[in-house]
Amino acid sequence: MGIVYAVIGAVIAMSAGIGSAIGVSRAGQASAALLTKQPDKFTSVLVLQLLPATQAIYGFVVAFFVFIFSGLMGGDPITEETGLSMMLICLPIGIIGIISAICQGNVAISGINLIGKQDGQFGKSMTMTVLVEIFAIFAFVISLLGVIFAAS
Amino acid sequence: MQKLKLVGLKSEDAEIFDVLTRSGLFEPRAGEEVCGTEKSSDSTRLDSILSKQAKCAFAISFITGAVKEAAKKAKKNHEYEEYTHIKTGGVTETAWADILKSGQEEAELLDAAADLERLSFIRTEIKTKRNKMNVHIRALSVYEFCGDKFSSFISTEKCNSVLVSGKYSAGFIDKLYAYPVCIEEYVEKGYDRIYGLVYLKDHEDAMRGILADHGYSVCSFTYDAAPLEEIAKCRNELKVFDEEDKAALLKILSYAVKLPQFKLLYDGLYIEAEKAKARLGYYTTDETYILEGWLPKPEAERIVGDVKSTTDKIDVYLTDADSKENPPSLYKKNTVLAPYQGIADSYSPPAYGEFDPGPFTAFFFFLFFGMLTADAGYGLVLSLGALIIVKVLKPRGGFKSLVMLIGISAISAIIWGILFGSIFGLDYSQLGGLFGLEAPPAIWFNPLDVDNDGPMMLLIISLLVGVLHLTCGYCLHFYKQTKAKHLLDAIFDDGLMIVAYAGVFMLLLWMGVGLLNVKSLPAWFEIFLMPGLICLGVGIGGVILTKGRKKKGVLGKIVSGASGLYELINILSDVLSYARIFGIALASCAIGLAFNTLIELVAGAGPIGIIFAVVMAVVLHLFNLAMGVLSAYVHNARLQYLEFFGKFYDGGGRLFVPLGSKTKYIIPRA
């Protein structure tokens, strides 16, 4: 039963990808609109568009660690208590990952509009977009450490 | 960079400009006001050049479109075969002498462009007529089963006769027969109905009402011909249109031999336009002008010598650039590093005189690209692909830089793939198994080898290289500060952070052994715990204590110092950002493994299965490669821009763009 709870936790962690998909797709729409007028800014908008994908990577990392430490990929299976702990500790990255990725996508859209209107603003656009990621990083750290400590 | 200031005679400025343009190393700048002179403001010449250039651009795209159309038609019509060999793309190397003489054929080519414009209108008109005719034929086709002429449906003094069409509708005929009417049925095909009706004019409204209620429409054609005859006539007209269009297309294609001249003229006019724009920045008198611009320092004297050799009626002044004048930045030529310079330029070109981040960016981009791709097979495909593209397609500009960047960085992917034991998703033990040999999974470790802590090792390595990357950024800022003689700032702002990162490095080594129990790491790494904590504490503590050193008042110093705690959070967020290398590399390896499992299943189905498996292997691994390269480029670039450049790089400069360097179709050569 412990592995079952752990797998549910991995699914929760991976759900951060939902937010990334929404954020990246919205930013992609803004990018496409900008590129109709300014096709030379493709590289800049591509980087901004892909910034909200980070939360999905973090969710993937946590889910993978859950697989390793839960015994799903070999080794002794964990107890029900440990599995439940792992499931709950995946909630921060799952929930905060979804919300922060969507919000980061919105900031990325504003950044794309900014670089469309003014040259040389790529650095500032990127910095503003990345600031949103700090909260996902906190959630990632808590979830990852929680999975490691729960297993040990 | 050196600033060139040149005073010469207006009658000789064309020769001077030619010499400067040919050098490929002169960027004009707006002049500074000089007493007794006035600024040129007549843009008539520039407008004229731009108008001619637009005509050339139209001619080139129009001829190119016609050649492509001919290539498609040549498959069915041999008349167009001779045009399939015309090359419309690519760039050609052309001598400067030829470029600067391109204006000699200008009149002839512009006449040809005008003729092409006329032919474009003709073709558009024919297309419109053809579309209208097709619509007309479709409308006539509704009545094709009516054998009577349209004109036979006439009105007399008391009666109307009409031809109607519609779909079968229950009760329609019965309602018609409620009035005195004669009905001739022409076709009953499926649900389609065509009737000829003759009825009294007194019942006109009632008849129209019945027709409308049942969805029938009255034919409005009045041709003195049956529908099929009229359709045949229209089809003959279509043939005439086709012949006219073909004649116009062949006439356009006859100009295809002039395509190289059009391209040469286009770029020649581009250079003339750049010169005309530069002239708008001149300060002039009645006879003289003052030209200003930038020259790279190593070449400046040589170029000035060339200019002076054209005329002795000239005064030339060369001075060193002052950063307040916003001179452009020019990288030193380096074939290996040149592709990586685009990474910094995409963020922001370096300010004049600023430290060039190129070599360090190149090293870390190369390193991370390999880790993110982590497959020797993919690296080999990328390297070979880039080599083929560069040799065969001869790309230019940004596309060439990108291809070279990926081609060179793919070598790192080969190295890391060999260390990780990953060749198209197969590790060495799997590859050995194919040939009946035994081998360990990797030379170093395999990221997917969970039993031997492969994923943990990859995570530790990712974070460690991240710490090195960040430390390098601080070291560069330290160097920058000491060069600017801000030694105390260098020590307190950067030196202490370097110490803190040294502590993080040691703590990561300890974490591998003490927390994650990675068996492949030496157990003695446990000794790094205390030194790591001490270094981290000294670094962060030092930052907190010294951050407020420039603030006045105790409160100001304390508040600034407290904000130094934020550096600890920054360290955490910066280092953890490199966990993306672990995530993306692992994802790529896992997808490769999943694809190989699928391919193995299909291959087990016999000889046909093997064929399918080979096709699947190519398609699936190419897909994984494409997704992997995109992630490797973008996330790598993000790490450079944010985590690395954020530590030391100011940017805000502009690149050196010599006059005539942005030609589209030709590469000038001396």
B255, B261, B266, B268: CA torsion to nearest 10? -160
* B587/A60 touch (CB, cutoff 8 Å), yes or no: yes
User: What is the β-pairing status of strands B666-669 and B288-295?
Assistant: unpaired
Binding-face residues of B in 437-456 toward A, CB within 8 A: 450-451, 455
pLDDT-derived band at A12 (thresholds 50, 70, 90) equals: very high
B330-333 contacts at long range (C-beta below 8 A, 24 or more positions apart): B330/B1, B330/B296, B330/B655, B330/B656, B331/B356, B331/B358, B332/B356
Amino acid A106: pLDDT = 95
- pTM of the entire structure? 0.75
- Supply A19's token pair: 């937010």
ipTM of predicted complex = 0.70
Distances (CA, A) of B52 to B41, B55, B107, B167: 20, 5, 10, 58
Amino acid B393: pLDDT = 81
CA distance linking residue A27 with residue A47, whole number of Å? 10
CA distance B452 to chain A (A): 11
CA distance A17 to chain B (A): 13
Q: Which residue of B has its CA nearest to A141?
A: B576
User: What stretches of B451-495 show up as alpha helix (H) in DSSP?
Assistant: 454-483, 487-489
List strands edge to edge, sheet with B192-200. B181-189, B192-200, B159-167, B217-218
Q: Give the number of other CB atoms < 10 A from CB of residue B159.
A: 16
Q: Which among B22, B45, B229, B18 is positioned nearest to B141, based on CA atoms? A: B229
- Reported as a single tens digit per residue, the pLDDT across B21-79 is 888 889 988 777 777 777 777 788 899 999 999 999 999 999 999 999 998 888 888 88
* B516/A140 touch (CB, cutoff 8 Å), yes or no: no
- Reported as a single tens digit per residue, the pLDDT across B491-542 is 988 999 999 999 999 999 998 888 777 877 888 888 889 999 999 999 988 8
**φ, ψ for residue B527 (rounded to 5)?**
-70, -10
pLDDT-derived band at B187 (thresholds 50, 70, 90) equals: confident
* A57/B584 touch (CB, cutoff 8 Å), yes or no: yes
Answer whether B465's CB lies under 8 Å from B578's CB: yes
Amino acid B642: pLDDT = 86
CA distance linking residue A87 with residue A12, whole number of Å? 8
Q: Does B515 touch chain A (CB under 8 A)?
A: yes
Amino acid B670: pLDDT = 67
Amino acid B231: pLDDT = 93
- Supply B426's token pair: 């197969």
Cα three-residue angle B274-B275-B279, rounded to 5 degrees: 120
- Residues of chain B with C-beta less than 8 angstroms from the C-beta of A14: none
Q: Which residue of B has its CA nearest to A61?
A: B583
Helix (H/G/I), strand (E/B), else coil: B290:
strand
CA distance linking residue A65 with residue B485, whole number of Å? 48
* B348/A126 touch (CB, cutoff 8 Å), yes or no: no
3-state SS of B552-572 is: CCHHHHHHHHHHCCHHHHHHH
Chain B interface, mutation test: which of A64, A68, A72, A141, most B Cβ atoms within 10 Å?
Answer: A64
Rounded average pLDDT over B437-465? 84
Chain A interface, mutation test: which of B635, B644, B645, most A Cβ atoms within 10 Å?
Answer: B635
Size of interface A-B (CB pairs under 8 A): 68
Interface residue ranges in chain A relative to chain B, Cβ cutoff 8 Å: 43-44, 46-47, 50-51, 54, 57-58, 60-61, 64-65, 68, 73-74, 120, 122-123, 126-127, 130, 133-134, 137, 140-141, 148
- Supply A65's token pair: 């660690």
Chain B interface, mutation test: which of A66, A137, A149, most B Cβ atoms within 10 Å?
Answer: A137
- Backbone region of residue B353 per phi and psi (left: phi > 0; alpha: psi in -120 to 50; beta: other values): left
DSSP string for residues in B58-115: HHHHHHHHHHHHHHHHTTT-GGGGGGTT---SS-EEEEHHHHHTGGGGHHHHHHHHHH
- Reported as a single tens digit per residue, the pLDDT across B387-408 is 999 888 877 777 888 899 999 9
Q: Which among B660, B654, B669 is positioned nearest to B330, based on CA atoms? A: B654
CA distance linking residue B277 with residue B259, whole number of Å? 27
